[in-house]
Chain A
Amino acid sequence: MSVQIVPDLKENMNQFEMLFSDCADIKKRKIKVGQKLERECFIAYIEVAISNVDWKDSAVGKLLQTLRELPEEELVSYVEKNVDDISDSQPFETIEDAAQGMLTGDALFFLDGYAKALKIPDKGYPGRGVYETESEKVIRGSNEGFSESIKLNTALIRKRLRSPHVKVKESFAGRRTNTNVDLVYMKDLIHPGMLEEIEKRLGEFEIDGALDSGIIEQLTEKRKYSPFPQFQTTQRPDRAAMAVLEGRIVLLSDNSPVALILPATYNTFIQTSDDYYSRWEIASFTRMLRYLASFLAMTFPGLYLAMANFHTQILPTDLLLSLAAARQGVPFPAAVEIVLMEVAFELLREAGVRLPGANGNTIGIVGGLIIGQAAVDANIVSPIVVIVVALTALCSFAVPNEEFATAFRILKFAFIFLCGSMGFFGFLIGMLGILIHLSHLESFGIPYLSPFVGADLNGYRDERDTFLRLPLDFLKKRPIYTRDGARTRLKLKHQGKDQ
């Protein structure tokens, strides 16, 4: 039941005090206004969210200053008439709504005789500002990264897409956290069905707290038991802007520097921003490398086991002999060696992530060089296994999206088991299983393996931006995510003429 704000300031203050009792971080100030300083007003705000130092220069300070210059009887009518002129203020009629407004990081203003509360924005909650992104590094292109402030993040996208067609639809998630969730999209490019679908999914759950976009991602995914993510994640505003230009939707969640992009496909996870900033030959080459890396990150240790244990006839005799010589003195079967080294590597990775910056690097050196070398010297593992595990790790690092790479890291163990027990037959069974799974997987109605499958949906044009990133001249049309009739991305004014 909401409590209505009344003209009696004391009543309002009591209700507000009751609501925020034992909240030391919330500052409540009673201030006298009017020429004779006979009328009272009440200001409430979260301690660090409102500037204390520059109080007089803030919107609240300026309002108070104005109110002190006016006669008492004109104060209410002044506030009523000028409510729209006071910065980005917003009036509330109930105590609960007003409280919610204050919790977004703004100041709340009550005036005796005025039956509303005004939310007056200020600097808001403390945030990091715009920093260089830690992941998704690029050789060419912007280095700006998203931060924890949703407003800042939307502004970073808007900065790149200065079009009135860019829409930001606001909603809230989390019963107790009331987290701001924004859907950013290009109105004339998106499939209306896609927007409806994500809004429907956002409305399908009620959780007490949505502290990060990861929670929203998991709650809105359709195939929850798949290791493959169905949202693309990014910390790069340029990547997000590029997605919006392709008719995709970017979901931003307050307090999270990770934006979700929908729909997502295998191909979009392999793409990076600088694929489009670099020349097509380089972009295509690195794209193919990444595809290969995603395959080997999952299968390389398994394939080694299949060859070393089951199908030695494939390898030339010299190589086979050197493999056998390398394994001499190692007491474990090859499968155990691989599992030992893979687990050790995953431990090193986890330790590296959890430790503070400089220590994390040290762990990499200690683990990779010292422990690896010691394990080989002590005949616990063979040097070839160290090479296999290191190459697999390199491959998993080459996959540009961390969440996507994690799927391969997990599946790698399944392949180790399958190939370790059934050789190349296990590999084929595993590949078939993965293929069937990926063929069924969809992200917001788009096949996960698109455009390798279902390419007919967009006249086979999307295939020009897969293994190869053809020259930009060839990518005149937007991908399948864009609505029909709005797929032209590039028009060449001097087509067919030498420049």
Chain B
Amino acid sequence: MFADNWKISLRQVRRLLILDIFGLSSLQLPGLLSSMTGADGLFSLLLGMAGGGLMLWLIQKNIQNIEGSYYQYMKDAVGQLAGDIFMMFYYLYFITLSGFVLYQAAVLALTWLLPEGSYVWVSILLLFLAGYGTIRGIEGRARVYEIIFWFLGIPLLVMLVLSLAEVHADYWAPVFYSSGLDILKGGVDYWIFLLPLTAILFLKPFCKKSEKIASCGRAALFSVTILNAAIYLILLGVFGTNTMGVLKRPIITLMSMVNLPGGFFTRQDVIMVSVWFFALFALMHTGVFQSTLILKELFHESGSRISMCISLALAFVAGMGFFANSFLAEVYGIYQKWIVLPGMAVILLAAPFAHRARLRVKREKGGEEK
């Protein structure tokens, strides 16, 4: 009747994307940028946003041509074999992303909420919930993040406003001190955090006003960049470049320092961790959901249980790998920078070209027949 039609609204897509790219970037980026670029991190953010904008422009070009699913479009544009290879590329990206984010979420929980807990159990619980969320389809998934959006957003904004009292504006200097290369590196790092926006390509068949879906990506990109810039400036103003470079998750440290008026709670970090916990879970869930979707299409599975179980198991293995060996996290960074980012650029460029070439050939053939 009204629901259960596997269709989600633009508002749901927008909120989903915002949560997807906000969680990990706000958690890790300030530390990364501050050690690399200091106060010039803002320029890196702008550069990264430009990269993200370029990627969204390419996504928009692809989306215009998608009629059924993205996989179908790829097959039509570049052929079955290349389409399958490209999809496997996306699969690897999403599954490693979900493993990495699972690792991050579990470590976050173990560090701030459950210091004596077991990593294995925490990650199993998170994957169980991701599986439960995936099995019921995209509508349920979109609704979860639609509803928690302001429950997370309002406390975060309040805390950020309250933390302004601690900001020392002189910590924002010196500007234009870092090298252009460092700023560029920072920009690329931010761009990598924006890669989950490619999920838009897969969401088109599920969106009610699918022709406008790219606008959700733009809205997410702008709002998250503004939020990240604000967070970066506040963190820089509170901690200064040197201290922030040492802190692993400076935003959560900041949350433990902000005092609420009235003083009923002395520390809010435990409560505020929930913002990043939910945001990381959303991204992990996106990874699991997209990889399930890709696997299902690649193997023509009628349901999605087998694909989901395989994806969950692989995400668990990947997460365990990151947890057991910190070197793997470094390898993952290199993989993202040197394989995923250029690979995606190639795919996003190749598909519309190939599609256009095929159309031209078809048109010419049609003309000859006439």
Spell out A's residues near B (CB within 8 Å): 191, 193-194, 197, 310-311, 313-317, 422-425, 428-429, 432-433, 435-437, 439-440, 442, 444-447, 449, 452-457, 480
Please determine whether A456 and B125 come into contact, CB atoms closer than 8 angstroms. Answer: no
Contact (A453, B146) CB under 8 Å given A315-B265, A424-B113, A425-B122: yes
Please determine whether A453 and B1 come into contact, CB atoms closer than 8 angstroms. Answer: no
Which one of B188-196, B197-205, B268-276 is at the A interface? Answer: B268-276
CA distance A427 to B274 in the complex (A): 10
Q: Which of A193, A311, A313, A442 contacts B3 (CB 8 A)?
A: A442
Against A, the Cβ 8 Å flags (1 = close, 0 = not) of B113-147 are: 11001000010011001001100100111111011
Q: Which of B1, B271, B277 contacts A193 (CB 8 A)?
A: B1
Q: Which of B12, B148, B267 contacts A314 (CB 8 A)?
A: B267
Is residue B109 within 8 Å, beta carbon to beta carbon, of the partner chain? yes
Please determine whether B140 and A457 come into contact, CB atoms closer than 8 angstroms. Answer: no
Point out the residues of chain A lying under 8 angstroms from B122, CB to CB.
425
Point out the residues of chain A lying under 8 angstroms from B9, CB to CB.
454, 456
Against A, the Cβ 8 Å flags (1 = close, 0 = not) of B175-198 are: 000000000000000000000000
Point out the residues of chain A lying under 8 angstroms from B93, CB to CB.
none
Point out the residues of chain A lying under 8 angstroms from B338, CB to CB.
none
Which B residue sits closest to A192, measured CB to CB?
B1
CA distance A311 to B256 in the complex (A): 13
18 contacting pairs across A/B (C-beta < 8 A):
A197-B1, A313-B267, A315-B265, A315-B266, A316-B263, A317-B266, A423-B114, A424-B271, A428-B274, A436-B140, A436-B144, A439-B139, A446-B1, A446-B2, A446-B3, A447-B2, A452-B146, A454-B9
CA distance A333 to B30 in the complex (A): 41
Q: Which of A193, A439, A440 contacts B147 (CB 8 A)?
A: A439
Point out the residues of chain A lying under 8 angstroms from B125, CB to CB.
429
Please determine whether A454 and B140 come into contact, CB atoms closer than 8 angstroms. Answer: no
Please determine whether A423 and B266 come into contact, CB atoms closer than 8 angstroms. Answer: no
CA distance A403 to B3 in the complex (A): 24
Contact (A456, B11) CB under 8 Å given A316-B263, A439-B143: yes
Is residue B278 within 8 Å, beta carbon to beta carbon, of the partner chain? yes
Is residue B299 within 8 Å, beta carbon to beta carbon, of the partner chain? no
Which A residue sits closest to B109, measured CB to CB?
A425
Contact (A454, B143) CB under 8 Å given A315-B265, A436-B132: yes
Please determine whether A440 and B266 come into contact, CB atoms closer than 8 angstroms. Answer: no
Contact (A445, B129) CB under 8 Å given A425-B109, A435-B144: no
Please determine whether B281 and A432 come into contact, CB atoms closer than 8 angstroms. Answer: yes
Against A, the Cβ 8 Å flags (1 = close, 0 = not) of B265-297 are: 111101101100110010000000000000000
Q: Smallest Cβ distance from A471 to chain B, in angstroms?
A: 23
Contact (A314, B266) CB under 8 Å given A433-B132, A442-B4, A446-B3: yes
Q: Which of B9, B266, B273, B281 has the most CB of A within 10 A?
A: B266
Point out the residues of chain A lying under 8 angstroms from B139, CB to CB.
439-440, 447
CA distance A429 to B133 in the complex (A): 13
Q: Which of A310, A423, A425, A447 contacts B143 (CB 8 A)?
A: A447
The 3 A-B residue pairs whose C-beta atoms are closest, nearest first, are: A445-B1, A439-B143, A453-B143
Q: Smallest Cβ distance from A247 to chain B, in angstroms?
A: 12
Please determine whether A449 and B143 come into contact, CB atoms closer than 8 angstroms. Answer: yes
